[in-house]
Structure 1
């Protein structure tokens, strides 16, 4: 049975189980098709409209802050222009429709009762997210409850992952890392450079970020992670995990363990269509 004696470890483990459900919205063809059906053609239009839609027809500035790792000019190319193609309500319907269709294709062999129980427990965890300081998490938590299990499951996973992401951004800022330094560190630490695709930072900005990390002692002069850097980023991850722990503490050890069992086959099916070198840095399932 799962122990909550280490809440941060539990939070990270559960992230590896629910994040794959959310991620279908970025990689599954049915999700892409649903965005295109409402006029959001091209990957980044769907991405920015779908992920921003819970905030309403916002301008670029709040999204630059909330998404963190995108260069302002990239966000500015998408917002507010996408709202001329689809309203936030249309984008919300498209992202949920595409995600449900994707999950239905991936999980059709699982019993309905399995999906319904997983949705109920994941919703219970998502209902315990703390909105203070979590802009994207709070906006997703405020959306109306969906009717069907797969829709409820995806929305709960999305609320939890955005809540966790908000906490991660806060941990990065508290550690004194800017967006380009964050990307440069993660690539130096082994993440594939695909992380940079479409995020808009220039080669000059990239090299300057690497130089700052060397000066800080997080990278060696040849661009390799130092022990100090590894310890520093480990502290960021630990802070992220701690900030994401409350929903699992509220759910309780017995229900967390049951939810983990229910999510594992779903997450494994979702992993079959997630690129191994994905730009999210999503790891395989952990204990």
Structure 2
């Protein structure tokens, strides 16, 4: 079972916290009005009442000015504990609204996904570690969402490590992705980069030979992107040693209809790069 295929199945379960109306309602109920306040507070809350600088570093692809507009202001509106409670409440409500009513499937999938999440080595992975340290929920849907969240942040930490190793900045990563697959109209405003910053990153990639004079990606750019994605998979593989190939196949079987069901609230294309289930 491919590591990337498993990610494509559990990532949508986590991502309801960003796209489902139930998630936004829960954040607003905690005092976090506006999408980005809920996003930054909910995702950063496992770290505590953190300031903008470490979040800019750990979230990686967001413009510093965009992060600074949210943090630390959000902690005047809701504590990290309140943000965490709202995040879990909204995510579970969102899952319950769209998933087939199949508690046995939820529980079986949660058992397997949790086994991988609990096996994850989080040294050097701040977001993965912070989420792994949160209390383990008791019920199947919260357990499923929490395990998916630990694994996706663990994987995300590794993805950023792969980009840093390739000497690619957050803005450059977005420009490269746009050159290869399109999506600037979504990626740039959703990550807060100005036209001047985007154009500067484009020039930097051109100087490295990754974009041609018309802004098209060169074969070297495609090779670098593929190498980063492959290394991300390798760095994300360790937790899955807790499951044998049969368990991984069973997990994929359990997750597939769940990932398909949440597709009604996940946009395609999306900032995570997850394809339609």
TM-score, normalization: structure 1?
Answer: 0.94
Equivalent residue number for residue 23 of structure 1:
15
C-alpha contact 2:188 2:194 (8 A) present in aligned 1: no
RMSD, aligned CA? 1.0
Q: What does the per-residue CA deviation read over 1:227-280, in whole Å, with 9 as the maximum and x for residues that have no partner?
A: 111001100111100000011122111111100000000000011221113222
Match of 1:48 in 2: 40
CA–CA separation in structure 2 for the residues paired with 1:36 and 1:191? 32
**Equivalent residue number for residue 230 of structure 2:** 238
Assess if the C-alpha contact under 8 Å between 2:268 and 2:276 holds in 1: no
Instruction: Extract unaligned runs of 5+ from structure 1.
Output: 3-9
Ranges in structure 2 where 5+ consecutive residues have no aligned partner: none
Partner residue in 2 for 1:138: 129
Q: What corresponds to 1:129 in structure 2?
A: 120
Counterpart mapping for 1:54-203 below 5 A:
54-107=46-99, 109-193=100-184, 194-203=186-195
Contact 1:195 1:280 in 2 (8 A): no
TM-fit CA distance, 1:142: 0.5
After TM superposition, which residue ranges in structure 1, 4 or more long, deviate above 6 angstroms?
none
TM-score (norm 2): 0.97
Tell me by how many angstroms 1:110 deviates.
Answer: 3.5
Contact 2:62 2:170 in 1 (8 A): yes
What is the count of residue pairs matched by the alignment? Answer: 276
Shift of 1:217: 1.2
The alpha carbon displacement at 1:191 in A equals: 3.6
Cα distance, 1:204 vs structure 2:
1.1
SS in 2 for 1:93: helix
